Amino acid sequence: MDKKKIGDLLIEKGLITKAQLKECLQLQGFSGKRLGEVLTEKGYVTEDQLIDTISERLSIPKISLASMVIDPNVLRHVSVEVARRYTLIPIFEIGNTLTIAMADPLNIIAIDEIKYQTGLNIKRAITTISEIKEAVEKYYSISDSLSHIIHETADNKATTQKKKSDGFIVDSAETDSPIVKFVNIIISKAVREGASDIHIEPEEDRIRIRYRVSGIMREEASPPKTMQSELISRIKVAANLDVSEKRLPQDGRFLMSMDGRGIDLRVSTLPTIHGEKIVIRILDRKNLSLTFAQLGLTEQLEERWKNLIHKPEGLILISGPTSSGKTSTLYATLQDINSIEKNIVTVEDPVEYSLPLITQVQINEKANLTFPSALRSLLRQNPDIIMIGEIRDSETAKMAIRSSLTGHLVFSTIHTNDAPSAVTRLIDMGIENYLVASAIKGVLAQRLVRKNCQHCIEEYSPLESLLEKTGLSELAATISFKKGVGCPKCRMTGYAGMTGIFEYFEVNPVLAEMILSNSSVHAIREEARKYGFVPLFEMGLEKISKGEICLEELLKETSNIDAFQADHSQDLVKV
C-alpha cells in the first residue's frame, strides 16, 4: 500500500483524471516542485482533499499544527535544512519514537535520512504544506540560529578569545559574532510577533525564553545552558550595564533599528539562584503615532477627553494597573496637545520614548533626583504643561496639586481600581479635600483586553453563571455575544491584538462639592452617572455588542471593579 504514488491514490479517489496527472507530472519535471504542490496550484485538488485522501488510504493520522505547541527540544532532532527540503517538522517524541508531520508521508528518503541521523523510530502524521511552512518559520527562526551559533562559537573560539574581557566580547567590530546574531533574532522575532516583552530565564539545566504576546506568555526555542553567560553578557553590554555585577538588579536600555523604525528596548536584570534573569521590554516607536481611536476610545469619549486636555490648568490623571496601557495613552495625549507655542516638561521614571519639542527628565534616585526635587526645579523653568510619570507618594502628590493650582496643566498616572477612586486616593495621601476638589479636573481609568480574532469569530452563549454574576441574565437575549474559536491566523487562541477599555470621570461643581463634604466613592460614582460617567464594565459591554471582545475577557480584566448591576439596566440599553 505504501508503494502507491500520490497521483494513483488521487485517481482512485476520483479527484483527478489521468490526463490531469500526466499534465502535472510534466510540470513537476520542469519546476522541481512536489506533485501535491503542482496539483493544488493548478486547482485540481485542494490541500485538504490531498491530505484527506492520503490519510484515509495510508491510515496516517491527519493533524493540525496550528493547535499544537511543539517542544523546542524536539526540534533539535531535525535541522531546519532537512525540514525545509522535505517539507516536514518533528512534533513530539515518546520514548525512542519521533513523530513527524509531513506534507508527503510517502517520501521514504526523508524518513530514512531522519531515522539514520537520530537513531529513533519514525512515526508519520500528515498535514498541509502551508501549515508546515508556517510552523517551520515559527519554530525554527530561533532554533535554526542556535545550531549555527553553537558551531560558529566552537569554530571561532580561538580567534575570539583575544577580543574577550571578563567573559564577554568588547570589540566594536562584533556585529558578526554568533551570539550577537542570536540576540538580534530573538528581538526581531519578538517585534514581528507583537510581543510586549522578552523573558530570558535561567533554570538549573536550561535557559527558558518566553515572549509576552497580547498579555499571555509563550515559550520559544531555548539555547543550551552553556550559552547562558555569553547571552546575558551580550545583552548587558548592549544596555550599557555592569557585566561584572551579578549580585544586584540593574536597569538599562538600548536602541535597535528594524524595518526602518527605531525600537526602544528597556532591560532589567534580576539575580536568581540559577543566574541573572533578564526581561527586555519592547517599546515600539510606532505606538507614538497611535490615535485615540486606535487606543480604544469611542468617538464620544475621545471628544470629551480632548475638551479636557486642552484646558489651561488643573490636574488630569490616568489610572490603571501595571501594563494597562497608561503610558501609551499619556504619550498620545502629549502628542495631541504638543505645539511650538507650549513649553512641555516631563518627569519620568524611566523615560520610555523621546518626544520632539518636549523636555524630558529622567529620575535618578541615586543622585537624589526624585519626583519632588525635579518638580521643584522645573517649576523655575516656566513650563506651561507638566507631565509626572506617576504619583507614588504624598510629597509628589502635594507638588502636583500645587503646580496645578498655580496655573499649570499637570498630567500624571495613579494606581486605583477605577476613576472616582483617584479622588479618595489623593485624600489618603494627605491632600486636603478642598485642594483635591479645586485641582483635579478629570480622571481616565483604563484596562487592556484581548480582542476577538475576526477570522474565526462566532456567536456563542456565555455560561448562565457568568450572566448571573454580571446581572445580564434578563438582557442576554438582546446582546449578541461573540468570541474567536481559534484558527491558524490567531494560533488557535481565538484572540488577535488588544484594545483599551476606558471610563471617564470629570469633576464639575456638584461633584466638587461632594468631594469637599467627604462623600463616599460610591456616592460620587452614582452622582457622576448623571453627567455621563459610564463604569469600565459597561464600557466593555459596548465593545461586546460590536463583537470586539468576549464577556470572559472583559470579566478577567474588570473582576475587581463594581460590576454591572440590575438597577442600571436602562443605562446599558442606551450604551
pLDDT in tens, 286-311: 767 778 998 999 999 999 999 999 99
Which grid cell is 490? 490567531
* pLDDT given for residue 223 in this prediction: 79
Three-state DSSP state, 505: strand
* pLDDT given for residue 79 in this prediction: 83
Top mean pLDDT of 19-28, 98-107, 559-568 is at 98-107
Three-state DSSP state, 303: helix
Q: What is the mean pLDDT of the chain?
A: 84
pLDDT of residue 101 exceeding 90: yes
Spatial distance between the Cα atoms of 231 and 209, rounded to a whole number of angstroms: 12
Alpha helices in 156-227 (DSSP H): 157-161, 178-192
pLDDT of residue 162 exceeding 80: no
**What kind and span of H or E run contains 344?**
strand 344-348
Q: Output phi, psi for 489, to 5 deg.
A: -60, -35
Mean pLDDT of 522-528: 93
Q: Number of C-alpha atoms within 13 angstroms, CB side, residue 105?
A: 28
* pLDDT given for residue 151 in this prediction: 57
**422 and 414 Cβ atoms separated by less than 8 Å:** yes
Lowest mean pLDDT among 110-119, 173-182, 334-343, 375-384: 173-182
* pLDDT given for residue 11 in this prediction: 84
pLDDT of residue 324 exceeding 80: yes
Residues in the chain, overall count? 575
Nearest to 6, CA basis, from 137, 130, 129, 92? 129
pLDDT band at 457 (very low <50, low <70, confident <90, very high): very high
pLDDT band at 153 (very low <50, low <70, confident <90, very high): low
Q: Which residue has the higher pLDDT, 149 or 445?
A: 445
Alpha helices in 239-325 (DSSP H): 292-295, 299-309
Residue-by-residue DSSP string for 426-492: HHHTT--HHHHHHHEEEEEEEEEEEEEPTTSEEE----HHHHHHHT-TTTGGGS--EEE---GGGTT
Mean pLDDT of 59-83: 82
β-strand pairing of 250-258 with 261-272: antiparallel
Q: Which amino acid is at 552?
A: E
pLDDT band at 63 (very low <50, low <70, confident <90, very high): confident
pLDDT band at 142 (very low <50, low <70, confident <90, very high): low
Residue-by-residue DSSP string for 217-257: EEE-----GGGHHHHHHHHHHHTT--TT--SS-EEEEEEEE
Spatial distance between the Cα atoms of 555 and 471, rounded to a whole number of angstroms: 12
pLDDT of residue 269 exceeding 70: yes
Spatial distance between the Cα atoms of 474 and 436, rounded to a whole number of angstroms: 40
* pLDDT given for residue 3 in this prediction: 54
* pLDDT given for residue 370 in this prediction: 86
Q: Which residue has the higher pLDDT, 74 or 571?
A: 74
Nearest to 195, CA basis, from 219, 224, 231, 227? 219
**25 and 35 Cβ atoms separated by less than 8 Å:** yes
pLDDT of residue 543 exceeding 70: yes
pLDDT of residue 563 exceeding 60: no
Spatial distance between the Cα atoms of 129 and 139, rounded to a whole number of angstroms: 15
Sheet strand arrangement including 495-506: 358-362, 344-348, 385-388, 409-414, 314-319, 440-452, 495-506
With b for 16 or more beta-carbon neighbours within 10 A and e for fewer, the 511-545 pattern comes to bbebbeeebebeebbebbeeeebbbbbbbbbebbe
pLDDT band at 155 (very low <50, low <70, confident <90, very high): low
Which single residue is written with the C-alpha cell 485538488?
45
**62, β-bridge pairs:** 126
